[in-house]
Amino acid sequence: MLTLQDVEVRYGSIQALSGVSLQVHDGEVVALIGANGAGKTTTLRAVSGLVRPARGKILFGDADLSRLPADQIAAMGISHVPEGRAIFANLTVLENLRLATFSRRDRRQVQEDIERVFSLLPRLAERRHQNAGTLSGGEQQMLAIGRALMLRGRIMLLDEPSMGLAPVLVAEIFRLLREINRQGTTLLLVEQNARMALALATRGYVLENGRVVLSGPSAELMANPAVAEAYLGAA
């Protein structure tokens, strides 16, 4: 479904990705793990068209995304939940969700999608008229995911959805992601919380200094002593 072939990204003189290749198949959950600065966020930004690769191909089905503008990529069914959530603090929960659909004319369908988001996220349903800025961190993260769901993407890119959340909320976010995947959305998940990410994912890739250094089924990665030591907090 999504294939990166030898993707390089530079920010000025900084080489953020030095030839990343990876694949995400339809229906999968794939985890991308790695230390700070490894290039995880940049990988997602390259897929979404927020940065341009200097080299390499990014294929979504047969289409090469690497020269397309971000809005066109989103319209093809790729939704991105960025790091730091980027919700509109002065708008209500409902307004944030509606904003994601401003270009859609199918009002009944939009209403159904909103109900779907609220059924997946009952906490948001209760707070639909609350300003997003007054939501807790976990609720804001749920709203960011809810907004991506409104785009009806085929694949969702998630950048550190567990960041800064208490363990009980992290567990709730991961339950939500599992359910979203079960309902048919493919997930590419960037996480520092490698243990949770690999528990959810079918496969994973480990990035170091802009390169994939390891990949495989999640269980295999979790059993790998180097991964356990570096990313799972084991001795």
Name which of 141, 125, 120 is nearest 183 in CA terms.
Answer: 120
- The reply on whether position 193 binds ligand ATP by CB under 6 A is no
Q: Are 156 and 188 in contact (CB under 8 A)?
A: yes
Our finding on whether 38 is near ligand ATP (CB under 6 A) is yes
For residue 34, what are its two tokens?
Answer: 């790695």
Here the tokens at position 110 are: 């939009």
Q: Which of 22, 41, 113, 218 binds ligand ATP (CB under 6 A)?
A: 41
Coil, strand or helix: which one is 227?
Answer: helix
Least distance between ligand ATP and beta carbon 82 (Å): 11
Distances (CA, A) of 159 to 48, 90, 196: 12, 23, 14
For the bound state, the minimum distance from the C-beta of residue 56 to ligand ATP, rounded and expressed in Å, comes to 15
User: Measured from the CB atom, is 14 or 89 closer to ligand ATP?
Assistant: 14
Q: What is the 8-class DSSP label of residue 131?
A: B
Beta strand 29-34 with 203-208 is: parallel
Contact region with ligand ATP (CB under 6 A), list: 39-47, 89-97, 115-123, 178-186: 39-47
56 lies in the site for ligand ATP, by CB under 6 A: no
19 lines the binding site for ligand ATP (CB under 6 A)? no
Task: Tell me if 63 contacts ligand ATP by CB under 6 A.
Answer: no
Tell whether residue 161 is a contact of ligand ATP (CB under 6 A): no
Is residue 162 close enough to count as binding ligand ATP by CB under 6 A? no
Pick between residue 31 and residue 100 the one whose CB is nearest to ligand ATP.
Answer: 31
CB 209 within 8 A of CB 39: yes
- What is the Cα–Cα distance from 168 to 28, expressed in whole angstroms? 25
Whole-Å CA distances, 32 to 4, 60, 69, 131, 137: 13, 18, 24, 32, 23
Under the criterion CB under 6 A, does residue 75 sit at the interface with ligand ATP?
no
Shortest distance, CB of residue 57 to ligand ATP, whole angstroms?
Answer: 19
Residue number with CB closer to ligand ATP (14 or 226): 14
Does position 11 bind ligand ATP by CB under 6 A?
A: yes
Residues in the site for ligand ATP, rule: CB under 6 A? 11, 14, 16, 34, 36-42, 192
